[in-house]
Structure 1
């Protein structure tokens, strides 16, 4: 007999995330990384003077507190917030990756090995890291209903003393490692994402791109079908003559208001305060009616309002 799963504390899950099934998490994170990889590669190589190859090295389970390497102050790091989390992504690049990017961006010799950076990063190097981080975050963010909703522009990358003082909120995470490769050298940058964020946006997404597009079409069709079944209240508004506030205050229930001879016959058909059609007021037998003439055109009405009558 299978043992029943123990109930989980929702408060703890909200604070620390849900590790879920390890295989499912790794598959979802790998799918996310592979989907974003072509966009990351294209965005980076549009800015450098010689091509840099980017490969996804590994996908593992980790913790957010492990993003910072102990006693290393010349990594570049940025925390990206989203609409659902203040730390939806954490991106870290080592000094070797920064050195390679500096060489490629400023026209270095692609066949000459870059010198390793042993010091804290300069402001120019951090600005360069920020550009790469933002391109990576945009690729990972995606679009549509399953986007991570990352807030752009992101904060600038930090290093040195600021990196040492940074306090990271701990919790279960996934770690996606990318390798930068070129004849002049290689480096590594890491993407850390809380498992709760991954499960919220991509927990059901381990299929390939084609399956995702088909799934989106299916949900769109279902949603549209439900919307088409929704009932809305239609309102037909007939313009009358102008009235003063005094005349308006004297109106009583049951009073009959005569339409002037020159009253316009056009009326507007609206639903939920949105005007849909221009109609013509009329009568069919014992029933008052409106006949749809044309879709409502706000621009046309504005122009007509400017013309003297």
Structure 2
């Protein structure tokens, strides 16, 4: 069995998606999908053993972090697909059988010669072929569903697969997803089967196992740190304020255009640097060349400011 290839998707710009969706932790998503795909293979082969006339081998060929809407082929032809709902999602699994797999499956079920090459179908699958594909999809869904507290709670039975022109009309919700591609093979040839899941479904039911198995997996603390990194990259506007002398309301109403107001003697050394209306530093106002500057003196202490105000009052 060859090792699966993983291809995390490129980073997208929306911050919410970067934090909790497709690009938040692509490696964690890929690891969880790889672990799940490897685990279900023996269950699938065991379930279809009585259905086929010669043995098939199965392996995880690739794991890709994708958009869930990409589960459907871009140019549907002779593939067959079923959408399997669950208690928590109307589209927990999107199972797709390629034309090569349909051809291989027909030969394996109806006693084809395992030494003769299996040819991919070049037409829309017949009702009998769709029944065979549906039986395979049922086994795949059962294996993915699992049991106990971590079960996906999929809805059974799996419906008749959609194929041909109807595939192009199939509406899939967009969102962060992960695609596991399997390769089923024999001496007659091979076929491809893919299972695409929304990331939230995968991580809700299977993310903890991959996290525990991977030595570098993100812990809750690491995730908080990653979230903090995103927040710390956000931009804020800085404001430097020089304090003036106190003035009565009567004096304030008496101000006129052109009137000069004198700064206190220590005003330059007590410039307040604020962000989002919160004072963060006490600075010293100055000039560097042709540019005005503020130099940070020390962090702003609100408690000390309050006490100083009481004493001066």
The interval holding the TM-score normalised by the smaller chain is: 0.5 to 0.7
Question: Unaligned 5+ residue runs, structure 2?
Answer: 1-13, 214-313
1:102, 1:128 within 8 Å by CA — same for their partners in 2? yes
Instruction: Say yes or no: does 1:177 pair with 2:181.
Output: yes
Note the 1:58-77 alignment, pairs <5 A. 58-77=62-81
Q: 1:161 is matched with which residue?
A: 165
Please state how far the C-alpha of 1:177 moved relative to its aligned partner: 0.5
2:22, 2:66 within 8 Å by CA — same for their partners in 1? no
Q: 1:116 is matched with which residue?
A: 120
Please state how far the C-alpha of 1:72 moved relative to its aligned partner: 2.5
Please state how far the C-alpha of 1:71 moved relative to its aligned partner: 2.0
Please state how far the C-alpha of 1:19 moved relative to its aligned partner: 4.3
Aligned with 2:87 (options 61, 83, 88):
83
Instruction: Say yes or no: does 1:44 pair with 2:48.
Output: yes
1:18, 1:196 within 8 Å by CA — same for their partners in 2? no
> 2 CA distance for matches of 1:195 and 1:19?
10
Aligned CA-pair RMSD = 1.9
2:102, 2:120 within 8 Å by CA — same for their partners in 1? no
> 2 CA distance for matches of 1:181 and 1:102?
13
Instruction: Say yes or no: does 1:148 pair with 2:182.
Output: no
Aligned with 1:102 (options 101, 106, 123):
106
Q: Deviations over 1:48-93 (max 9, x none)?
A: 0000111111111011121122222210100000000000000001
1:73, 1:164 within 8 Å by CA — same for their partners in 2? no
Rg larger in 1 or in 2? 2
Q: 2:203 is matched with which residue?
A: 199
Aligned with 2:139 (options 126, 135, 138):
135
> 2 CA distance for matches of 1:55 and 1:24?
20
The list of structure 1 runs, each at least 4 consecutive aligned residues, that deviate by more than 4 angstroms after superposition, is 16-19
Please state how far the C-alpha of 1:18 moved relative to its aligned partner: 5.5
> 2 CA distance for matches of 1:122 and 1:38?
28
Note the 1:234-245 alignment, pairs <5 A. none
Q: 1:53 is matched with which residue?
A: 57
Question: TM-score, structure 2 length as denominator?
Answer: 0.60
Please state how far the C-alpha of 1:203 moved relative to its aligned partner: 2.0
Question: Unaligned 5+ residue runs, structure 1?
Answer: 1-6, 209-309
Question: TM-score, structure 1 length as denominator?
Answer: 0.61
> 2 CA distance for matches of 1:94 and 1:193?
17
1:19, 1:195 within 8 Å by CA — same for their partners in 2? no
